[in-house]
Structure 1
Amino acid sequence: MDLYRLPHSTYVFLTLALSCILISRLYFHQTPTVRVASLQKTRDLSQNDTKNFSDSIHANEFPNPSTGCALPEEKRFDCARDRTVSQAECEKRGCCYLPLTQTEYNGPPWCFYPASYPGYRMGPLSPTPKGQSATLSRATPSYLPRDISTLQLDVMNEEAGRLHLILKDPSSARYEVPYVKVPSSKRTNTEGFLYDVDFQSDPFGFVVRRRSNGQVLLNTSVAPLLFADQYLQFSTSLASKYISGFGEHYTHLTLDLNWTSVTLWNRDMAPHSDVNLYGSHPFCLVQEGNGQAHGIFLLNSNAMEVALQPMPALTWVTIGGILDIYIFLGPDPQSVVRQYHEVIGYPMMPPYWSLGFHLCRWGYNSTNVTRAVVQKMQEASFPLDVQWNDLDYADKKRVFTFDPQRFGDLPEMVQELHEQGLKYVLILDPGISSTSPPGSYKPFDDGQQREVFIKNLTGQTLIGKVWPGPTAFPDFTNSDAVSWWEECIRDFHANVSFDGLWIDMNEPASFVHGSVHGCPYTDLENPPYTPDVIGGQLNSGTLCMSSQQALSSHYNLHNLYGLTEAFATYSALLKVRGSRPFVLSRSSFPGLGRFSGHWTGDVRSDWEQLRYSIPAVLLFGLYGIPLVGADVCGFEGDTNEELCVRWTQLGAFYPFMRNHNDRNNIPQEPYVFGQRAQLAMNNALVIRYTLLPFLYTLFHHAHTSASTVARPLFFEFPSDPNCVTIDRQFLWGSSLLISPVLEPGVVDLAAYLPPELWYSVYDGKPYNSKGQYLLLPAPLDIINVHVRAGNIIPLQMAALTTTASRRNPMVLIVALSSQGWAKGDLFWDDGDSLDTFEHGDYSYVIFTAGQSQLVGEPIKLNGALDGLTVAEIRVFGVATPPTGVWANGERVYNFSYETDNKVLTVISLSLPISETFTVQWS
């Protein structure tokens, strides 16, 4: 058996680290319309290639391609993606060879499949406990080495909007990503299903249609299915060219389909174009062009490449495991994301304090320096909730230690921060120093004794190299390693009472390729095909692929490393601190949002990186990791005052906001700039802190119903063609539209307002848009924010920490629709306890406005709101100047009306938010 195949016994891991990714909402139902038929019967939609394989191909030989080569260039599928071939080699594969004259490297393939090409033959579908199953077989092997001639197809119609298909080798226990799916009883009828599926039997292919309109969403008959030992490939047409996903990459919100490709292989690589970055998310969302959308997810953790072409179509190639395919039918974009998150798990609920402002630098090289930074922030009246330390704190750069000279009083400093209402987070790399004298570094000594580290092919601890020098790497698929990790965190926390952990370098990164001793020459290190990874080799900047973990080889588990470490870290904090964990991870994979947030890595301090941080944040919302942000003002290189101001304004609307800087750069803390810049940054931070109750409520909805926090405009306006590709603006929930300045020297901003009534959040100025770009003033001290009519936004008066702000009075912005109504809500708990929603230990208030009155009504109370009051309301869109205002039936005299913008402001209220209240005006 090849090393990358998974021994059945290793499935014991399913009860360990990743067992937290149990999917409790998967239901298996009877099949909707599923047909095995010739695809000649399908409709030929103009945007899809529904060209059929010929039924006349003899199963035992490749065809003469000469009659099937007259294909438009955009419909050519590469027959030599695995390696470069000559004309003779191409034609030997039974493919067409037609050189083109394009001068660019990327373009239509010269060697491509003809319109007819032999493949697998599908047998009849048979019922199974989970759905249906069929055998696929091919009489003649493909051109790939170690081709697998017999496959099993499982078809599971799990939900009305979710189709699940698996293709695997029935004769071998190939590696599968260890997600557990829990079926429920099957439905007795298929009413309400959103899709139909047609299967072509020879050669095998399938078409998925939207049942409501017959639109073809996927058609895999456009190119053959390939399934070999280390090379799996399938292609499909797409319903439109507007496709988002396949992270993590430096990209716009929608991908370029002009003969491009993206590689998914976790790598320590600063964001720039055309390379694989820190995370792998084999998921995409396709806008169908009519307000509807669907998603595709390949549950596979091996190295993979996705080729995109203008047909529109894609080809998926992965070099291990199985083809475990989910299709989510939406029908709207937000429903697609919810259906996807039902599979990978809903995001965790972050602690309230983690939504405040975080400050970090690689270069705060002592406790005295760190204290001084906090003091200067306070003296300049900048809000700050969390102070961080990078690896400066560690003794000889070894994690779970602190430098006895420069950080000798670290425990005392952390206690001081806590007394000021602040939190403390430090970095934790997975690389464990292996060169300390025996008995001097407990994490390595204990880890070696308990055999918790990843091993090389000969069974010895694999040694790489990171910051402290030669290092071993914990195997978080090993239950003993998870326990050992918890003990290390517990012991360190007993000395330094940190509040959260920042897990970095966890792709995992190494400064040598493979190990300090190199890697053996095996098929795992040198597979027949390697996707286009940075460095050219799978082990570039990481571990040997042949290294062994409890679950499987690193070849299979590499992309899961950060996820497994995040689970182990989350679990340890859960037990050690007993409150809501805060974990920030650089490496990511589907499901990470259950345990961790993410930042976008070592971004440069320049305008381009500022600009591209918006689609990065929006895409991670799709991937189920809403707690995400880029390093404010940039990490690499020197910032400048204008850039840092504009980045702070944008960062105030990242779901996660941290200013982080490299040690060799000029300082970029807010207090180091001129007075005008400081004022602008302070304004941005105050806006953020004022909006935290609203942001926290959005996170509650993400945690409980998989809604997105920061979301693209097309999520709320899917039928507006102008919103399809906008990624210079974004929304918080459905209510707030953020339009930042992204270029230097800008004082007026062209911002798109979808067809709605919008109000400036600052003064209530109305904009009744027909769906148009408007030129808005954008001086240095302003970021444009608009509230959508029909919404009520709960605010809270800002303070320098969330510890203080959570006790302040609240303010309600009531943005009336043109019909005079609005609604909103507030989720509130203690901000730190575990599973408050699950245990019912929270308060929930709904706000409604209509017929010239505002009502606040607690739906659920647990005491968390006790003492909190509504001190002020601002009602936008009050058409007629009020002559009187009443609160709970008593006349109120402290109100004003702004005639130009039609804004009613009522102040000096003291309405307990834990009680039903009414404010009326007439």
Structure 2
Amino acid sequence: MALTGLIRASFALLCSSTLANGQTTSTSADSIATSPPSSTIASINTVTIGGTPTTFRNVFTMPASTDEGADLLPNVEDPEAVNAQDACPGYKASQVHEDEHGVTAILTLAGESCNVYGNDVSVLNLTVEYQAANRLAINIIPANLDSSNYSHYIVPEELIPRPQPDSTYGDIDLEFDWDNEPSFWFSVTRHSTGDVIFTTENSKLVFEDQFIEFVTSLPEDYNLSGLGERIHGLRLNNNLTATIYAADVGDPIDRNIYGSHPFYLDTRYFETDSSGKRSLYKRGNGGTSGGSSYESYAHGVYLRNTHGQEVLLRSESLTWRTLGGSIDLFFFDGPTQPEVTKQYQLSAIGLPKMEAYWGFGYHQCRWGYRNWTELREIVDTFKAFDIPLETIWLDIDYMDQYRDFTTDPVTFPLSEAKAFFDQLHGDGQHFVPIVDSAIYIPNPTNGSDAYDTYARGNESGAFLKNPDGSQYIGAVWPGYTVFPDWLSTGGQPWWVQEMVAWHKEVPFDGIWIDMSEVSSFCVGSCGSGNVTLNPVHPPFSLPGEIGNVIYDYPEAFNVTNATEAASASSASSSQAASASTSSASTSTVYLRTTPTPGVRNVNHPPYVINNVQGDLAVHAVSPNATHENGVEEYDVHNIWGHQILNATYQGLVSVFPGKRPFIIGRSTFAGSGKWAGHWGGDNASKWYYMYFSIPQALSFSLFGIPMFGVDTCGFNGNTDYELCSRWMQLSAFFPFYRNHNTLSANSQEPFRWASVASAAKIAMHIRYSLLPYLYTLFHNAHTTGSTVMRALAWEFPGDPQLAGVDTQFLLGPSLLITPVLAPQVNTVNGVFPGIADGEVWYDWYTQARVDAQAGVNTTIDAPLGHIPVYIRGGSVLPTQEPGYTTTESRKNPWGLLVALSEDGEASGELYVDDGESLEPTDTLYIVFSARDSQLKADVNGTYKDTNALGNVTILGVDSVGDVKLNGESVGEAKVDHDDSTGVLKLSGLNDLTSAGAWSESWTLSWN
């Protein structure tokens, strides 16, 4: 074993807060910095391996206390917290000017300063813009940003673009109103309906340098979604505090996690009774019957602010609080969810990027693939079981001591890489490695510890600093680390250069960005003065290390293995009892800070948001870390992950000129979809996490990041065949489809169980058949801002009973997915939306029309290995015969699946290009329409696709006459019509379309 292997082995042994010789460390990070026990840390030990004496350097384990912050009590839980609405005077408007473009005014503090959670800003500028027919903007900023009495960071437009007015502003349907009694308040009304969609009446505006608060009333039983990122149902409940602060944390329920999306969708249902009276609909009133008709109106609200935030959802109000910045609000009037989402993306955050075709194949990863040989075996085993595998991924295992842009010379030597990649790429498959967000800083006392990536970044001035100008040094996987400064002039160019150089050694196809909140395993610049200890072990044990081995039984184990479960539970209880110790109860003394005139306390602001980690510096780079331009991390923490995605996108454009970058990132912000997709983070092998994956995905549809998926079968803990079977089938209908689990957990590749392999292949066959449909959905999202995964309520806005449904979803407008989300069942309940209005649904498998009632849950057979999938009548779905990879699939014959509506009509579309060009010069766009027993394909474009049309299946056909293509008999093509099911199948069309299915427009008739 080489030295690097020994260092890694010592990492696995040193999991407690002790030195290698058994001495305990100081419990304070500061004391380590001032007095590191270097004589013991740097000692050389000798061991005998295979009869050979070998020396290695001990590795210091950071004490757990280094990642402990101040004891803080969130204001929302603090009985001593001052209510700013009671303490502050609000503002008065003066010098008001109104014209066709909007309103401007001066807002002046209406009384004595309250300075409750910061320093009051006495004078504000109000600007209201009628920006477009569907968009209104309200901007409130300090009148004098140069004053020395307070400090404000206003996010620049070049960093986070600001929506701009256009020529349609004169047709706007939104009205702005205001009043000064008892203090300044404003409202936004939808003119066409008279509905007030936002009002701060009966509340006060609070505007301080570290605290901003505004309140809007909401109707009873409101229906909001968004405000991410968090694990929650699609519909946000009315007792939720939605914190928006990027955090590295393993997917807790209802808490802030990786991304920051200060946007919400508000959908309001209205009921018109038989007498014509219109009123706001309340749950429990019915929904699809009773003589009433229903309509809905949706609008969106976006706060362009990068600071830590909190949104308090209460019974009839929403309170928005931020730790700084400005009020830069944008209202999108819809009036339905599709329009709101398009307006938000087109004008505010940008359209999602077009994905490379190969990105829609199946991806396999785990933390724990140990070397190139094992990786090759995984790829080969998928092939042996005939389970499609598009992309193999590697977690941090491949790195040399967890350092970015390196490979372990023992386990992943470059000498073996070429053969691996030649075969992988030769088979049309792809490789994506993880890249972390922190950069190891080498030990200056050890010449062999040199790390060129750091040296080049340091020379470029690419790293964050402390307020005194020294380098900010935190800690992540490799030890003490520095962090890229994306506001510096050298940060992004250096990152691009590193990616280009590394690709020459490791020919990756895409990049997986992790730890980008940005995460640090210690509070403050804990590495300052301690770099001579590097490399060091994190202040916690890794999965599989001594004391941290995963013994979790799968969730349903106690049901299927009752005897073993009872024995395991008894042993666990016994161990817990023997390990318990009594301790005297103590009362926590919480840190509460007060405002200081002219000074911002960024590390411990006076207002404490309900951050999942408590102290803002815990498990994160501290708020006082300073960028090259003097901006503190406090002001831009929420966009660090957004910026590394931008830098990585630019890097991949340089690595693959003219090709679409493939990036999956963890921390995102409004607009990150321009550069990357996202996965749901560190979930667990639990049934409820499978359920939550659906509202997670739907939320990211609202956020403009349609390329979303989760760690299928779960990341943390051990899965079992039932959960993994169900999950592999569910994720097959998510845009991003990847299986991934943690170090030391049981392997969960689908071939590990026969039942999972079978279930996966069934679902993958459907997915790969529908890749043309999925690709077309993404092209529409990329060009128009439409959604890919859709909530039932969005597609059927006239049914209020669908408002909270997030156990089913639609893929595009045409496919309804109703997964099993519970163990030990063989059926699932699901609603078939739109039936009351004449919608028709067909079973994917039998192709028969579904017999279901309107507005009720239908019990659907769903034995293990079967996921219910339904086709919406009125749809034309382009398909392609699936191959083992997307490359093979793209060479296969085309097919069409036509599901006729009640009146015998259907429509659809297909987008085709080369699948990889950033700006394709040749494309095809085909529009399908069916009516009067004819199917027409209207072909436009110059892309040459020579694949024939192999088959057409038409559902809902009552009778069949002569079948003709462009007026000519289909000849020897097989025509099969089932009178009982109404299914017409045409196969063997290849010879008739040998020039290519889309070489010209055509008409197929069966009358």
Does the alignment reach a TM-score above 0.5? yes
Query: Given that residues 83 and 529 in structure 1 are in contact (C-alpha distance below 8 angstroms), is that contact kept between their aligned partners in structure 2?
Result: no
Moved more, 123-132 or 491-500: 123-132
| SS class of match (2:490) | helix
Q: Please state how far the C-alpha of 1:605 moved relative to its aligned partner.
A: 0.5
Evaluate the alpha carbon distance shift between residue 401 and residue 143 of structure 1 in structure 2; reply closer, same or farther with a 3 A threshold.
Answer: closer
Query: Given that residues 82 and 529 in structure 1 are in contact (C-alpha distance below 8 angstroms), is that contact kept between their aligned partners in structure 2?
Result: no
Q: Does 1:295 align with 2:300?
A: yes
| SS class of match (2:504) | helix
Q: Please state how far the C-alpha of 1:94 moved relative to its aligned partner.
A: 8.6
Distance 2:162 2:369 in 1: 48
What's 1:844 paired with?
Answer: 925
Distance 1:344 1:545 in 2: 25
What's 2:207 paired with?
Answer: 227
What's 1:678 paired with?
Answer: 757
Evaluate the alpha carbon distance shift between residue 544 and residue 221 of structure 1 in structure 2; reply closer, same or farther with a 3 A threshold.
Answer: same
Q: Does 1:919 align with 2:924?
A: no
Q: Does 1:821 align with 2:905?
A: yes
Distance 2:651 2:234 in 1: 35
What RMSD, in angstroms, separates the aligned Cα atoms of the two structures?
A: 2.1
Amino acid at match of 1:456: N
Distance 1:662 1:183 in 2: 41
Distance 1:238 1:899 in 2: 54
Q: Please state how far the C-alpha of 1:815 moved relative to its aligned partner.
A: 0.7
Distance 1:740 1:178 in 2: 44
Query: Given that residues 758 and 789 in structure 1 are in contact (C-alpha distance below 8 angstroms), is that contact kept between their aligned partners in structure 2?
Result: yes
Q: Please state how far the C-alpha of 1:661 moved relative to its aligned partner.
A: 1.1
Question: 1:831-910 to 2 correspondence within 5 Å?
Answer: 831-836=915-920, 840-863=921-944, 865=945, 867-880=946-959, 882-892=960-970, 893-910=973-990
What's 1:771 paired with?
Answer: 855
Q: Deviations over 1:567-592 (max 9, x none)?
A: 00000100111111011100011010
Question: 1:292-441 to 2 correspondence within 5 Å?
Answer: 292-311=297-316, 313-342=317-346, 343-408=348-413, 409-436=416-443, 437=446, 440-441=450-451
Query: Given that residues 306 and 639 in structure 2 are in contact (C-alpha distance below 8 angstroms), is that contact kept between their aligned partners in structure 1?
Result: yes
| SS class of match (2:365) | strand
Q: Deviations over 1:145-188 (max 9, x none)?
A: 41111111011111111111111102016312233558877648
Amino acid at match of 2:249: M
Q: Does 1:560 align with 2:560?
A: no
Distance 1:919 1:661 in 2: 48
Evaluate the alpha carbon distance shift between residue 122 and residue 878 of structure 1 in structure 2; reply closer, same or farther with a 3 A threshold.
Answer: same
What's 1:536 paired with?
Answer: 614
Distance 1:500 1:362 in 2: 18
Amino acid at match of 1:176: I
Evaluate the alpha carbon distance shift between residue 757 and residue 834 of structure 1 in structure 2; reply closer, same or farther with a 3 A threshold.
Answer: same
Q: Does 1:715 align with 2:794?
A: yes
Evaluate the alpha carbon distance shift between residue 573 and residue 721 of structure 1 in structure 2; reply closer, same or farther with a 3 A threshold.
Answer: same
Amino acid at match of 1:689: Y
Q: Does 1:85 align with 2:84?
A: no
| SS class of match (2:898) | strand
Amino acid at match of 1:574: V
Distance 2:528 2:312 in 1: 31
Amino acid at match of 1:85: E
Moved more, 407-416 or 796-805: 407-416
Q: Deviations over 1:848-867 (max 9, x none)?
A: 1111111112122222x2x1
Query: Given that residues 816 and 869 in structure 2 are in contact (C-alpha distance below 8 angstroms), is that contact kept between their aligned partners in structure 1?
Result: yes
What's 2:106 paired with?
Answer: 135
Higher RCO (C-alpha under 8 Å, 6+ residues apart): 2
Question: 1:509-908 to 2 correspondence within 5 Å?
Answer: 509-516=519-526, 523-551=601-629, 552-578=631-657, 579-674=659-754, 676-755=755-834, 756-767=839-850, 769-836=853-920, 840-863=921-944, 865=945, 867-880=946-959, 882-892=960-970, 893-908=973-988
Q: Please state how far the C-alpha of 1:772 moved relative to its aligned partner.
A: 2.9
| SS class of match (2:252) | coil
Q: Please state how far the C-alpha of 1:132 moved relative to its aligned partner.
A: 3.0
Q: Does 1:456 align with 2:436?
A: no
Distance 1:680 1:742 in 2: 15
Question: 1:479-518 to 2 correspondence within 5 Å?
Answer: 479-516=489-526
What's 2:233 paired with?
Answer: 252
In structure 1, runs of 5+ residues without a counterpart are 1-78, 96-112
Q: Please state how far the C-alpha of 1:127 moved relative to its aligned partner.
A: 5.6
Q: Deviations over 1:843-894 (max 9, x none)?
A: 111111111111112122222x2x12211011010022x2431223232351
What's 1:210 paired with?
Answer: 190
Distance 2:781 2:433 in 1: 26
Amino acid at match of 1:637: G
Q: Does 1:166 align with 2:171?
A: no
- TM-score normalized by the length of structure 2: 0.78
Distance 1:178 1:762 in 2: 53
Tell me which of 92, 98, 120 is aligned to 1:121: 92
Evaluate the alpha carbon distance shift between residue 186 and residue 544 of structure 1 in structure 2; reply closer, same or farther with a 3 A threshold.
Answer: closer
Q: Deviations over 1:70-119 (max 9, x none)?
A: xxxxxxxxx98696438xx77xx894xxxxxxxxxxxxxxxxx8xxx842
Q: Please state how far the C-alpha of 1:199 moved relative to its aligned partner.
A: 0.8
Moved more, 749-758 or 564-573: 749-758
Query: Given that residues 878 and 909 in structure 2 are in contact (C-alpha distance below 8 angstroms), is that contact kept between their aligned partners in structure 1?
Result: yes
Query: Given that residues 133 and 169 in structure 2 are in contact (C-alpha distance below 8 angstroms), is that contact kept between their aligned partners in structure 1?
Result: no
Distance 1:834 1:841 in 2: 12
Q: Deviations over 1:608-651 (max 9, x none)?
A: 10011100011001001000001111111100001001000100
Amino acid at match of 2:135: R
Distance 1:614 1:834 in 2: 30
Tell me which of 132, 154, 168 is aligned to 1:176: 154
Amino acid at match of 2:332: F
Distance 1:686 1:817 in 2: 25
Q: Please state how far the C-alpha of 1:128 moved relative to its aligned partner.
A: 8.5
Query: Given that residues 481 and 527 in structure 2 are in contact (C-alpha distance below 8 angstroms), is that contact kept between their aligned partners in structure 1?
Result: no
Query: Given that residues 768 and 883 in structure 2 are in contact (C-alpha distance below 8 angstroms), is that contact kept between their aligned partners in structure 1?
Result: yes
Query: Given that residues 356 and 662 in structure 2 are in contact (C-alpha distance below 8 angstroms), is that contact kept between their aligned partners in structure 1?
Result: yes
Moved more, 193-202 or 374-383: 193-202
Query: Given that residues 754 and 772 in structure 1 are in contact (C-alpha distance below 8 angstroms), is that contact kept between their aligned partners in structure 2?
Result: no
| SS class of match (1:395) | coil
Evaluate the alpha carbon distance shift between residue 513 and residue 816 of structure 1 in structure 2; reply closer, same or farther with a 3 A threshold.
Answer: same
Evaluate the alpha carbon distance shift between residue 172 and residue 798 of structure 1 in structure 2; reply closer, same or farther with a 3 A threshold.
Answer: same
| SS class of match (1:397) | coil
Evaluate the alpha carbon distance shift between residue 222 and residue 384 of structure 1 in structure 2; reply closer, same or farther with a 3 A threshold.
Answer: farther
Larger radius of gyration: 2
What's 2:37 paired with?
Answer: none
- TM-score normalized by the length of structure 1: 0.85
Q: Deviations over 1:52-72 (max 9, x none)?
A: xxxxxxxxxxxxxxxxxxxxx
Evaluate the alpha carbon distance shift between residue 81 and residue 610 of structure 1 in structure 2; reply closer, same or farther with a 3 A threshold.
Answer: closer
In structure 2, runs of 5+ residues without a counterpart are 1-73, 147-151, 270-294, 530-592, 594-599
| SS class of match (2:236) | coil
Identity in percent = 37
